[in-house]
Amino acid sequence: MKSRVLELNASDERGIAVVRDKIKHFAKLAVSNPAPGQTCPPFKIIILDEADSMTQDAQGALRRIMEQYSRITRFCLICNYVTRIIEPLASRCSKFRFKPLDSASAEARLAFIADAERVPADPAMIKALVESADGDMRRAITYLQSAARLVGARNAPLSADAVAELAGVVPKPVIERLAHSIGVDGEGSSFDGILASVKSVVLEGYSCIQVLLQLHDFVVEHPLLPAAKKTRCALRFGETDKALIDGGNEELQLLSLCLALQDLYELFCVAIAQTESAALRDLVSSTSRLIFDHGGVVRNVQYWGKRTLPQRARRHQQYHTAGDYWLMQFDTNAPTLKVLNDRLRQDPRVIKWNTLKLGEKLGEIVPPGVSGGTTSSKATMGGRTVDYLG
């Protein structure tokens, strides 16, 4: 067996020196003759576990060895992330992907281990272990070991909630409250409500990464959310995950995510044309503050300049033939949008306005061009062209 199989943990022996010395030396050895009466294949096997941890130089050197000694040596690369294997190496291998264990098999095995180790475990506790491990049998066994120590210390069986807490899983009611405050499945809360929900999650000591994962599952598995909204949420989850990996502050990143998950709207407004720009600046500033105060986020503001109206408009008992055109994209919820419309309806500086709910990425919504009157009056939204000035 030892003359035919070499098994290495590539996460420990990952450098180019190991490839050039140990692996190359074993690969070029001649195949030994099998014992009488035994049938063996005419090649040796090198098994590299955690191969995705190998350096780029080591993988490059391994490619040449695989080509040179392919007649007498076969290679088995085991990895968690196939994208970390260089393409020249991956193209020389047949890929086999293994799915996580199904829940029934995992529960049966954990029940067998618990019975063998004399750990009191009811079916609810076993099910909680499997759900917390998310298909990882090794992690489920580790949780079972930790639970066994607690059982010995308490002299009482653990509940399913205690197992979830042991595994660091955020309780489902906490995720549902956070999602409701954001407005994922409803109207959502104000900025103060979202901030209070985020602070509550952080003060409870839950991992932001774990909250992100469970919030992602909640959104993806939600039966009433449209696919477009799920896609938009997934993009935000990816941005927040990268920011956390790069070392971002957990509370700030979670708050930013919760604010960004609100619906994206676009406001097109025509204000009364005036010589001084102070009135227009005050209108834009007060509109932005209203959105900020209600938990929204202003994404973009564009000024299109003074333009002649397509037709004379009567507003606040006056007729107008020209106006200042400006555009704003922002994230907010439905109640805030109603307040904004009521405010603009009563504002004497506004001639006309319109708000649209956008369902695409912001980069695909904002019309090309430069602000200041040179931007096209048409924008693409949801696959159709909208003319704001027509």
- What CATH code is assigned to 172-260? 1.20.272.10
Distances (CA, A) of 126 to 107, 139, 146, 165: 6, 13, 13, 14
pLDDT cut 70: percent of the chain above it: 85
Three-state DSSP class for 20? helix
CA dihedral 102, 103, 108, 114 (to 10 degrees): 120
Q: Where in the chain is the domain with CATH 3.30.70.60?
A: 263-387
Whole-model pTM: value is 0.56
Where are the domain boundaries for CATH 1.10.8.60 in the chain?
Answer: 103-166
Q: Are 241 and 208 in contact (CB under 8 A)?
A: no
With a pLDDT cut of 90, the percent of the chain lying above it is: 4
Edge-to-edge order in the sheet of strand 5-9: 5-9, 44-49, 73-77
Structure-token pair, residue 325: 């055109």
DSSP label at residue 220:
H
Average pLDDT over residues 75-93: 89
Question: Angle at Cα 293 formed by Cα 290 and Cα 296, nearest 5°?
Answer: 85
Within the chain, all domains assigned CATH 1.20.272.10 are found at 172-260
Angle in degrees, 0-180, between the axes of helices 208-220 and 172-182, rounded to the nearest 10: 70
CATH 1.10.8.60, applies to 103-166 = yes
Q: Are 219 and 251 a contacting pair, CB within 8 Å?
A: no
Which class does domain 263-387 fall in? alpha beta
Every domain of the chain with CATH number 3.40.50.300 lies at 5-90
Structure token pair of residue 126: 């076993």
The correct answer on CATH 3.40.50.300 for the domain covering 5-90 is yes
Burial class (CB in 10 A: 0-12, 13-18, 19+), 56: exposed
pLDDT of residue 143: 86
pLDDT digits (tens, 9 = 90+) for 259-291: 777 677 889 999 988 878 888 889 999 999 888
Range ranked top by mean pLDDT from 247-251, 310-314, 339-343, 384-388: 339-343
What pLDDT does 185 receive?
Answer: 63
Most confident of the ranges 12-26, 151-165, 175-189: 12-26
